[in-house]
Each structure stands twice: as C-alpha cells, then as structure tokens.
C-alpha cells in the first residue's frame, strides 16, 4: 500500500482532502435537514423537564409556559407514536 502512495505524483493529497471535505459538508447538510424535518430545533423543549413540583421555583409566566409546552409536546408525541404505529402496521401487511 505504501508503494502505491509513493508512486503517485506530487500534490495528490489535496484531492483526497477535497473529497473528504465535500463528504463532511454533505453529511452535515443531510443531518441538518433531517433535524429540521423532525422538529429537533424546538427551543421550548427545555421546559419539558419541569412539572407541578417546580411551581414555587419559577416565575408565574415561566411556569405557565412550561406547562403549556408540556401539553404541546405530549400531543406531538402522541401524533408521532400514532404515525409510527401506522407505518409498522402498513409494513406488516
């Protein structure tokens, strides 16, 4: 293998790095598109960790927002689980 690389002309490594760089950029674009399509950029997701026991530790408006976000996320979870179950059922048929 070392003989193969030594037999190449000078300057071949730049092409290797260009291909590797392009692969990295394309992979990053793919995963960012996947994340955008799967609601991974939701800033309010941080509120899901709070529950009724945190009411005294938060400002009233923050607590209200946390509870609203919890309800929205639970509804979204239910939609995703129903969609996944329908896809499994369709594949099984």
Name the burial class of residue 65, with classes exposed (0-12), middle (13-18) and buried (19+) by CB atoms within 10 angstroms of its CB. Answer: middle
The residue among 50, 46, 75 whose CA lies nearest residue 64 is 50
User: Mean pLDDT over residues 65-69, rounded?
Assistant: 93
Confidence check: pLDDT of 63 > 90: yes
Cβ atoms < 10 Å from Cβ of 66? 21
* Domain residue spans of the chain: 1-41, 42-93
Position 6 scores a pLDDT of 79
Name the band, by pLDDT with cuts 50, 70 and 90, for residue 48: confident
Confidence check: pLDDT of 23 > 90: yes
Take residue 66 and report the two structure tokens written for it. 């946390």
What's the rounded Cα separation, in Å, for the pair 63 and 47?
A: 9
Instruction: Write the CB contacts of 76 (distance below 8 Å, at least 6 apart in sequence).
Output: 39
């Amino acid at each position: 293998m070392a003989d193969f690389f030594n037999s190449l002309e000078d300057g071949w490594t730049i092409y290797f790095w260009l291909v590797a760089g392009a692969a990295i950029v394309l992979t990053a674009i793919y995963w960012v598109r996947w994340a955008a399509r799967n609601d991974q950029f939701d800033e309010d997701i941080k509120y899901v960790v709070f529950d009724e026991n945190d009411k005294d530790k938060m400002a009233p408006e923050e607590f209200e927002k946390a509870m609203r976000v919890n309800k929205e996320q639970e509804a979204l979870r239910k939609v995703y689980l129903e969609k996944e179950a329908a896809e499994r059922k369709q594949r099984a048929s």
